[in-house]
Amino acid sequence: MSKGVLAAGIISLGILAFAVVNIISNYFSGNELDYYLLKETTEAAMTDAVDIGFYRLTGQLRMDKEKFAESFVRRFSQSVNQDRNYRIRMYDINETPPKVSVQVDSTTSVTFNSESLGIRNQIDAILETKYDENRLIEELMKEGKLDYEQLNSRN
């Protein structure tokens, strides 16, 4: 009888250890996947939201807030894991220079005493360029096709 109880104890201990290892690996791999998903999605959405017309005229980067938010949510929702609940918070979005602060909270399916495990990732991203001058504007001005004084007189 004692050997049977000992075998049952070893089996139940093995099942418990397997469950704990599964929960911990789910938490840590979920954190890593959420971080890289947040990083890549933010970078791609910021690039999508750059105002190309403004950049061509002035040589400065400017981002559209609404376009960034729409692109971020669309891209993020296409790539997330379906067994988690996500909450996206956009704290700070600047158009010039392009800067965003995004926080993503996700909850796992594991609960202890009606409390779920949460993962929080936050990223602050700034989009910048290495160019100081706008070559297109300089070429157009040299050719006489662009005159800033005509543009200023319209406004």
What are the backbone angles phi and psi of residue 58, rounded to the nearest 5°?
A: -110, -20
Alpha-carbon separation of residue 101 from 23, 40, 71, 121, 150 (angstroms): 30, 14, 15, 11, 39
- pLDDT at residue 154, as a whole number: 46
Q: How far apart are CA 109 and CA 105, in angstroms?
A: 13
Mean pLDDT of the chain: 81
Angle 2-48/65-79 helices, nearest 10 degrees?
Answer: 150
- pLDDT at residue 32, as a whole number: 78
- pLDDT at residue 4, as a whole number: 84
3-state SS record for 11-71: HHHHHHHHHHHHHHHHHHHHHHHHHHHHHHHHHHHHHHCECHHHHHHHCCCCECHHHHHHH
pLDDT at 109 over 70: no
Domain count, the chain: 1
Higher pLDDT, 147 or 115: 115
**pLDDT tens per residue across span 112-132:** 667 777 788 899 999 887 766
pTM: 0.68
Mapped onto helix, strand or coil, the DSSP state of residue 3 is helix
Residue type, 51: D
Domain that holds residue 95: 2-154
The dihedral over CA atoms of 56, 59, 63, 64, expressed in degrees to the nearest 10, equals -40
- pLDDT at residue 66, as a whole number: 93
**pLDDT tens per residue across span 40-95:** 999 999 999 998 888 777 777 889 999 999 999 999 989 887 777 889 999 889 98
- pLDDT at residue 155, as a whole number: 44
